[in-house]
């Protein structure tokens, strides 16, 4: 989920060339010492892994998926330009931080819900009160002069925070008045009792089988 989405990521790519490495999700995984590797590198053990493009400026988790890999299967199940990463089980959060008067503060946190094996199609985002500390690994980003940052993470049942994606922008700052945000994809109904429909089209630059056409939202008070 993103506020200004791919457009804001493209602006940040050009504005902060020293931070481009952070748009590599493989690089992010390596900073946190996750088990991971690009196409062709064997997995440490047979298991279910997250397979996704190393860099995806289109957003929407385009072409991300859960894949069972063992042995030489990595050569056929992880395409060139993609990587595999160990899978973490827990709740997925999108967290926004802003820098005000020289101090970073958490702006919001939204919890995403999706189908277990579909990483591109979320059924709901809900504003939550979780407080998530800024990972120390992001210090080079914070020292760059940016004023906003968004990161997505999995919070495991043990309470461990596992960031897997970071952006030099916010994700939900433009929709914070909504407590619940339900993405509406092509073919989904645009109405639901108690919700308001708003437009918001994206097709992940043609990579989504079912483009998102808007949202059903509810809850004005924060």
Q: Measuring CA to CA, how many Å separate 39 from each of 20, 79, 98?
A: 21, 6, 35
Q: Measuring CA to CA, how many Å separate 216 from each of 92, 110, 123?
A: 20, 15, 10
pLDDT along the chain (222 residues), means of 10: 67 94 98 97 96 90 91 92 96 97 96 82 94 97 95 96 96 91 95 95 84 91 48
Strands (E) across the chain are located at 36-38, 47-53, 65-69, 82-86, 90-100, 103-114, 122-127, 148-156, 161-167, 180-185, 196-202, 212-218
Contact 90, 157 (CB under 8 A): yes
Residues 6 or more apart whose CB falls under 8 angstroms from that of 209 comprise: none
Contact 63, 52 (CB under 8 A): yes
pLDDT of residue 209: 80
Assign 4 to helix, strand or coil.
Answer: coil
Assign 48 to helix, strand or coil.
Answer: strand
Using the Cα atoms of residue 100, residue 3, residue 58 and residue 81 in order, give the sign of their dihedral: positive
The pair of structure tokens assigned to 134 is 């800024």
Q: Measuring CA to CA, how many Å separate 17 from each of 141, 144, 169?
A: 11, 10, 15
pLDDT of residue 220: 62
pLDDT of residue 222: 43
pLDDT of residue 5: 67
pLDDT of residue 221: 52
């Amino acid at each position: 989920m993103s506020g200004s989405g791919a457009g804001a990521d493209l602006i940040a790519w050009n504005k902060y060339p020293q931070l481009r490495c952070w748009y590599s999700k493989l690089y992010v995984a390596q900073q946190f010492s996750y088990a991971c590797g690009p196409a062709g590198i064997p997995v440490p053990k047979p298991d279910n892994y997250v397979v996704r493009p190393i860099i995806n400026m289109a957003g929407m988790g385009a072409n991300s998926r859960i894949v069972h890999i063992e042995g030489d299967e990595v050569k056929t199940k992880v395409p060139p330009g993609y990587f595999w990463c160990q899978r973490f089980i827990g709740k997925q959060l999108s967290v926004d931080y802003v820098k005000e008067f020289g101090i970073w503060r958490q702006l919001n946190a939204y919890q995403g819900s999706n189908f277990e094996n579909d990483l591109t199609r979320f059924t709901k985002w809900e504003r939550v009160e979780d407080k998530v500390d800024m990972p120390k690994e992001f210090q080079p980003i914070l020292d760059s002069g940016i004023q906003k940052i968004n990161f997505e993470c999995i919070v495991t049942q043990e309470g461990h925070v596992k960031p897997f994606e970071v952006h030099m922008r916010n994700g939900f700052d433009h929709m914070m008045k909504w407590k619940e945000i339900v993405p509406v994809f092509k073919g989904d109904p645009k109405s639901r009792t108690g919700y308001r429909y708003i437009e918001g089209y994206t097709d992940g630059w043609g990579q989504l089988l079912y483009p998102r056409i808007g949202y059903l939202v509810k809850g004005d008070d924060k």
